[in-house]
Amino acid sequence: MNPQESPETILAGWRFQWFGWLPLEQVQDPDWCPEDLVLLVNYLQETPIVMLPVSGRPLVCSLCGEIIGKNGAIQSDGVFIWPISLGHRVKKHHLRLPTNFIEHIRNRNYVIREEMLSLEEEDHIEMLQLQIERYLLDQ
């Protein structure tokens, strides 16, 4: 990835179905403040955790010290996957979301699908494996 690229450029061209693992400074944009930011953040934060490492130590935000959740936890709405820190970083630290991810959330009217909320743990694991395979194919 070209280090000269602005967050806006990187995120406009984002074509993956994962997000939230880039260094914060690459995708931080204090000027980004869409009208539906609260709805986007709620969607990110309320989507179920699909993978929780056994150790599950608390994840403390390195920027503000807030406890975000369990370290290593991954959330998914069945299409995108992201780390538990993403909602917090968007809400508190001006992390900008990729265009395709925003459009996806808006297309769903900020509603988390019922089937995601009622998944059993083994369904989560199966789904996550599919998503990781998709992620690896993107590389």
- By CB under 5 A, name the one of 37, 38, 63, 67 that touches Zn ion: 63
**Residue linked to tokens 């070209």:** 2
Q: Which stretch binds Zn ion (CB under 5 A): 4-12, 60-68, 70-78, 101-109?
A: 60-68
Q: Which range of residues in 34-42, 59-67, 98-106, 107-115 is near Zn ion by CB under 5 A?
A: 59-67
Pick out residues in 84-103 that bind Zn ion (CB under 5 A): 92
Q: Does residue 64 touch Zn ion according to CB under 5 A?
A: yes
Q: Which residue is nearest to Zn ion (CB)?
A: 61
Contact 45, 67 (CB under 8 A): no
Note the residues at the interface with Zn ion (CB under 5 A).
61, 63-64, 66, 92
